[in-house]
């Protein structure tokens, strides 16, 4: 028998901590998309308020929900926190908003009104947000 101690496996909630931190980072990315896109020439012809409504507000909601969930996950499993499911739902709805508001942009790209790179650049963040938010919802369902 070896006298070397084996490292203890990471607690399950470490995945929740990492997942929610990743969700917050993608929320930040969502906020910056239109402004970095402008620097890269990946622009769409919309009023600045549209970028705020389609990127900044939902991105800020994702960040707030993810950071809240991360703070809960650092204390214990999200499934044991009575408000984690609500926060995860907020992140999901914000991601759905981003997806829904960019469906017309993809249609515009298919008609040649905007470039495909610009349409993809502006809409792609919604998919990982939805995926991670769904994961957070599943992890936040209270234990039976």
| Residue 100 domain-assigned (yes or no) | yes
| Residue 121 domain-assigned (yes or no) | yes
Q: Provide CB contacts within 8 A for 139, sequence distance 6+.
A: 16, 19, 77, 78, 79, 84, 88
Domain of residue 83 covers 54-144
| Residue 107 domain-assigned (yes or no) | yes
What is the total count of domains within the chain?
1
Confidence of residue 2 (pLDDT cuts 50, 70, 90): low
| Residue 41 domain-assigned (yes or no) | no
| Residue 122 domain-assigned (yes or no) | yes
In Å, how far are 60, 77, 85, 93, 117 from 32, measured between CA atoms? 11, 31, 27, 19, 16
Percent of the chain with pLDDT over 90: 85
> What pTM does this model have?
0.88
| Residue 104 domain-assigned (yes or no) | yes
Is 3's pLDDT higher than 70?
no
| Residue 28 domain-assigned (yes or no) | no
| Residue 49 domain-assigned (yes or no) | no
């Amino acid at each position: 028998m070896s006298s070397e101690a084996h490292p203890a496996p990471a607690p399950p909630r470490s995945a929740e901590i990492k997942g929610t931190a990743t969700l917050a980072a993608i929320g930040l990315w969502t906020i910056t998309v239109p402004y970095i896109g402008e620097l890269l020439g990946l622009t769409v012809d919309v009023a600045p308020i549209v970028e705020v409504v389609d990127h900044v507000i939902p991105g800020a909601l994702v960040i707030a929900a993810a950071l809240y969930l991360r703070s809960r996950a650092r204390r214990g499993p999200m499934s044991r926190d009575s408000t984690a499911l609500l926060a995860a739902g907020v992140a999901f709805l914000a991601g759905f908003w981003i997806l829904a508001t960019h469906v017309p942009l993809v249609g515009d790209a298919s008609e040649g009104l905007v470039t495909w790179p610009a349409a993809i650049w502006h809409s792609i963040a919604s998919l990982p947000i939805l995926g991670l938010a769904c994961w957070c919802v599943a992890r936040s369902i209270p234990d039976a």
